[in-house]
Structures are given as structure tokens and as C-alpha cells.
Amino acid sequence: MSSGIEGKVVLITGASSGIGAETARYLAGRGAAVAVAARNEQALDAVVADIASAGGTARAYALDVTDKARVDAVVTEVISHFGRLDVLVNNAGIMPIRPMSEVNTDEWDAMIDVNLKGTLYGIAAALPHFLAQQSGHIVNLGSVAGLKVFAPGGTVYSGTKFAVRAISEGLRQEVGDRIRVTSIEPGAVDSNLKHTTSGTAAEAVQAFYERAVPAASVARAIAFAIEQPDDVDVNEIVLRPTSQDF
Ligand code: NDP
């Protein structure tokens, strides 16, 4: 894998909005070929059109990260379209905040399926290719809620993000001599994520996001990890709005 961003093939899950879409635009602007994947195909097409009109290279892939076979198929399709894959950004995520006492197992299942299993399915699909080519970079979207428990309300969300951080670190220990692994842990970022909370905590979540930073802040952090020379693996980046305490 070459150093820098120019010419790298980057697959980003959850790239139809927020951090994923902004990262796709930013990396494409820096010369990467980006594969953008998510469920909302219309939104993906708009991201691809933005990138194309700015002279960049991008292609859209319909993807539900809870569908293991489809995650595998998308990785295969990206390699077939672009000739290889250099970086996978496991970014798709949801955050329905609700106190545990309101017991909502559908939301718990959904967070585990998307945030945790979706990330694992991405690793499962990309890792054999990265091992075969003896290079590759997996970037996982954790959260500050994966460093501190976000309670009340974000307990299960935190559980998924603590797990993503643990898996990132374990993966690094296992294959880090050949494959780079980065965990990105943002605080409040302005995106659609806050709207995935619809229950009793919705107002508190909106208030928490009043001081959110733009998604471009995270795109730059991801680019920083990717652009390092081959012999440098940025393992973790924690970034918060300057005024954020949590
Ligand atoms: P957005 O809601 O703006 O974006 C989330 C993306 O995930 C969308 O593109 C959505 O696309 C996609 N997604 C959701 N479910 C699925 C699924 N089943 N299959 C494929 N894609 C899916 O939120 P953000 O950009 O903020 O979130 C991106 C990541 O950053 C998440 O992992 C989040 O936990 C993390 N993060 C965000 C923070 C924030 O404050 N915003 C802070 C810390 C971490 P579609 O609906 O089209 O499938």
C-alpha cells in the first residue's frame, strides 16, 4: 500500500449522510477513489454526484451492514470495480438513546446489529483480502461513549462502542504487523445521528448536540490516519467539541 491518500481505494459504510458522506467527499478531494455504501441509494447517488462534479472518483453500493452476505458481496464488487481495496471505514451506526428502565429490546438489537455486528461483518469481508495483499487499513468509528459510559440513556450504545474499541485494539494486536487499525472516537458531531433517538430522551439528546462540531472535523481525523506513511499506524483518535465535558 502506498503512503498518503492519493490513489487509495477506500470503502466507507454509512456514507449516505453525516461523517461517512463528509469523509467520502474529503478523501475524494484528496485523490482517493471512494466506494460509498449505505441503504439510502438516492442519498448515496447525491454524494457520488457531488464528488464527480468536483472531479473526483466515487461509486455507490447499496448496503445494509446487518446483511453479512451483502457486506461480503460489496467488498468483492469494490475490488472488481477498482482493482483493489486499501482502506475500509466501518462507519455505519445508529444511536437510539433511552433509559434502560424503559426496556426496548428492539433498539438494543438494532444497535448491536448495526454498530457491532456490522463492524465485524466489514472486518470479516475485508480482512482476508488485506492479509492476502499483506497490507490494508481498517478504520472503525467508535465514540467518546466507548471511553466513558453514556448513562442514563446511552448505556447500550456505549456497550456497542466499548466493544468496537476492544475489537479494534485486539485486531491491531493480532494483525497489526501487516494491517493498520484505527479507532476514531468523536464527541458530539452534527449529523443525522441525533435523530435516531425518538423516545423520551430525544429532547436531552438535541440539547447535547447544540455544541456539536461539523462532520468535516472527523473526516480530517480519518484522513490524518490514512495519510501516514506505511510504517505509522495511528491507533486511536479522540476528538471532542472544545466545550464538551463528556
Ligand atoms: P448519521 O446518522 O448522519 O449517519 C449514519 C450512517 O449510517 C448513515 O449513512 C446511514 O445510512 C448508515 N446506516 C445506518 N444503519 C445502517 C445499516 N443497517 N446499513 C448500512 N448503513 C447504515 O450519523 P453519523 O455520521 O454521526 O454517524 C456515523 C458514525 O459515527 C456512527 O458509527 C456513529 O455511532 C459514530 N459517531 C457519531 C457521533 C456523532 O455525534 N454524530 C459521535 C461519535 C461517534 P442509511 O440510513 O442510508 O443506511
The rounded Å distance from CA 18 to ligand 1 centre is 7
Q: Is 229 exposed, middle or buried (0-12, 13-18, 19+ CB in 10 A)?
A: exposed
The rounded Å distance from CA 227 to ligand 1 centre is 23
**What confidence score (pLDDT) does residue 137 get?**
98
Angle between helices 68-82 and 118-133 (to 10 degrees): 40
Model confidence at 1: pLDDT above 60: no
Beta strand extents in the chain (DSSP E only):
9-13, 33-38, 57-62, 87-90, 137-141, 180-186, 189-190, 213-214, 236-239
What digits encode the pLDDT tens for the residues 79-136?
999 999 999 999 999 999 999 999 999 999 999 999 999 999 999 999 999 999 999 9
- Ligand 1 near 96 CB (within 6 A): no
* Total number of residues shown for the chain: 246
- Domains of the chain as residue ranges with CATH: 9-226 (3.40.50.720)
Model confidence at 3: pLDDT above 70: no
d(CA 113, CA 119): 9
Q: Report residue 28 as a C-alpha cell.
A: 475524494
d(CA 159, CA 123): 19
- Ligand 1 near 67 CB (within 6 A): no
Question: Is 61 considered catalytic here?
Answer: no
**What confidence score (pLDDT) does residue 127 get?**
98
The rounded Å distance from CA 85 to ligand 1 centre is 22
**What confidence score (pLDDT) does residue 198 get?**
86
What digits encode the pLDDT tens for the residues 43-69?
999 999 999 999 999 999 999 999 999
- Ligand 1 near 133 CB (within 6 A): no
Model confidence at 2: pLDDT above 70: no
Among 26, 61, 157, 209, which one carries the catalytic annotation? 157
SS3 content of the chain, % helix, strand, coil (to 5): 50, 15, 35
pTM of this prediction? 0.98
